Amino acid sequence: DGGVRWLRHGGRSQREWRGPTLLPYSHAPSPFVTILAISSSRHCRRRRLDRVHGYRALCCGVGFAMSIHGRECLRSVGDECAGSAIVYPPTPWETTHHHPTRSATWVVGPAPEVAPLPAAAVCIVRRTIRRRASYSSQRRGMGFSDHQAEPNYVSPLGTRYASRDMRINFAEVTRFRLWRKLWLALAETQQTLGLEEISDQALEAIREAPDIDLELATTYERELRHDVMAHVHCLGDQAPAARAILHLGATSCFVTDNSEVIQMRQGLDILIREIWSVIFRLADFARSYKDLPTLAYTHFQPAQPTTVGKRATLWIQDFLIDALRLEEVRDTLKMRGVKGTTGTQASFLALFRGDLDKVRQLDDIVAAKMGFKGRVWAVTGQTYPRKQDFTVLCALAGIGQSAAKFANDIRLLQHMKEVEEPFETNQIGSSAMAYKRNPMRCERINALARFLQSLLLNPAETASTQWLERSLDDSANRRLAVSEAFLTSDAILQLALNVSTGLVVHPMVIEKHLREELPFMATEQILMAATKAGGDRQTLHEAIRRHSMEAARRVKDEGLS
């Protein structure tokens, strides 16, 4: 009717088109490119609406501006919509990447000379786009990317390397939930200490508030340009009885700094559990091969014998240093506490009518509620000392050092075919050289360890460049450096655990290498025995050196064994 055609997925239930013919992509008249997508399918709303059904839609018109591409939404839609429409066939990229939906309906507007689209159709489009924005904003808030909705960069740490536990710990929604716990702890303690403004109804409203409405919070942040106040308003809408007392006396760093310290502590707990697992696996390996002799190397040149198990204790000792350091950092980590805007606690002194004891109790009780009893900074500016971030990342960088040493050693031993990392039956080492057994896990450890150690420069620079009580040039840097350091450390330890659990030892190759160097290794015993028999140690050393060098030359030049 009126030149409108309804298209359903798969060509079912089609109504005849009475308007202009659908033109091929190459013949489409660019001034008339309006298409409105409508869908009642939840599956459909997961995708970019301008690619539903495999068609490319560019949207414009009279009286409104519209782009479904990316994150743009309808800005204004009225009855004056031009309704001109051209449907483009899919481009090669879309043909390759298109995934059909279960149910997708398109309203294609009539040509310019025909009446405009009905207002009802416009309303449906607006509602559909709003729902799609809600879904994507929720996924972004949880730290995930909606691959099906739009092209979007996602860190490989989140998609390939880090564990689920660590990803959840540093997800945005985890941080926002901690903010609410902190607001509740603050309000509860303020009431306990006699602040009459805090009612039981307000506290109950905070406790019973539904989970965070990420779409609403995103809407507020877009308007206010302030993440903390956006969530204050969001919680206020979800818990109206508490709106008036939320964030009372606090500054943004009360929730941001304290929640980040909690996330770091939880991240340290994960890393401590993982590093001890690596240590135990390597200890099992060391016990299993404590009596297997092998050739030791200094300067990567043959030295004296050691055992495979003894060599493994070097790796264990490094990881043990890191484990103890991580535990020390976790146990001494301090919260910022309840300090006000510049660390003077002036706002809380005003709330408690100058009662300094109550302000001190407020600081201590809130910290205890969040699991930091007796561990709160005595003095702060607006933020806790950024040197604490440096201390934490130093401990994490130590993991990178130890793991890199371990991985490098395995790579060298695998080159000599003495010890190898796990290699699955169907694993492919090279797309061209089918015989290859590349140590890809250890190589990845080295790659990630290099990145982890480079992150240490960030908190060092941040701590040294903060102005007076605080400057905001720490914020964006810390969002990247701190979380990625934890995710990278987690990824490294996951790999180290995998490698240490499945190490493969080849005793026959080890024995072969040992026998090849045995005549040279025996010279040290000859030197000591001859000296004990009355010889000059220095003269004997020179004689042995000359003979050894000549023997080595013949082995290399003449191929002797």
Q: Where are the beta strands (DSSP E) in 456-560?
A: 504-505
Give yes or no: 430 in active site. Answer: yes
Evaluate whether 117 touches 16 at the Cβ level (below 8 Å): no
Over the Cα atoms of the chain, what is R_g? 33
| Cα dist from 130 to 38, 45, 123, 222, whole Å | 12, 10, 11, 15
Query: What kind and span of H or E run contains 5?
Result: strand 5-8
- Per DSSP, the three-state class of 10 is helix
Residue 63, Ramachandran bin (φ over 0: left; ψ between -120 and 50: alpha; else beta): left
Taking each helix axis from N to C end, the angle separating 172-192 and 356-369, rounded to the nearest 10 degrees, works out to 140
Burial 287-320 (b: 16+ CB within 10 A, else e): eebeebebbbbeeeebeeebbbbbbbbebbebbb
Look at residue 37 and give its three-state secondary structure: strand
> Token pair of 463, please?
């701590």
Active site residue 30: no
Q: Is 559 left (phi over 0), alpha (psi -120 to 50) or beta?
A: left
Report which secondary-structure segment, H or E, holds 106: strand 105-108
Q: Which residues pair with 7 in a beta bridge?
A: 106
Gap between the Cα atoms of 497 and 27, Å rounded: 59
Q: Give CA–CA dist 525/510, Å, rounded.
A: 22
Angle in degrees, CA 67, 69, 75, rounded to 5 = 30
CB 409 within 8 A of CB 318: no
Among 430, 464, 475, 548, the active-site one is 430
Alpha-carbon distance 496 to 279, whole Å?
10
* CA separation for the pair 37, 104 (Å, rounded): 8
d(CA 201, CA 207): 10
The answer to whether 25 touches 88, Cβ cutoff 8 Å, is yes
Cα distance between residue 401 and residue 70, in whole Å: 41
Q: How far is CA 163 from CA 170, 482, 526, in A?
A: 11, 16, 54
How many CB atoms are located within 10 Å of the residue 237 CB? 14
Alpha carbon 425 to its chain centroid, in Å, reads: 31
Query: CB-based burial of residue 280 (10 Å sphere; 0-12 exposed, 13-18 middle, 19+ buried)?
Result: middle
Catalytic option among 26, 27, 76, 299 = 299
Which residues are part of the catalytic machinery? Answer: 299, 430
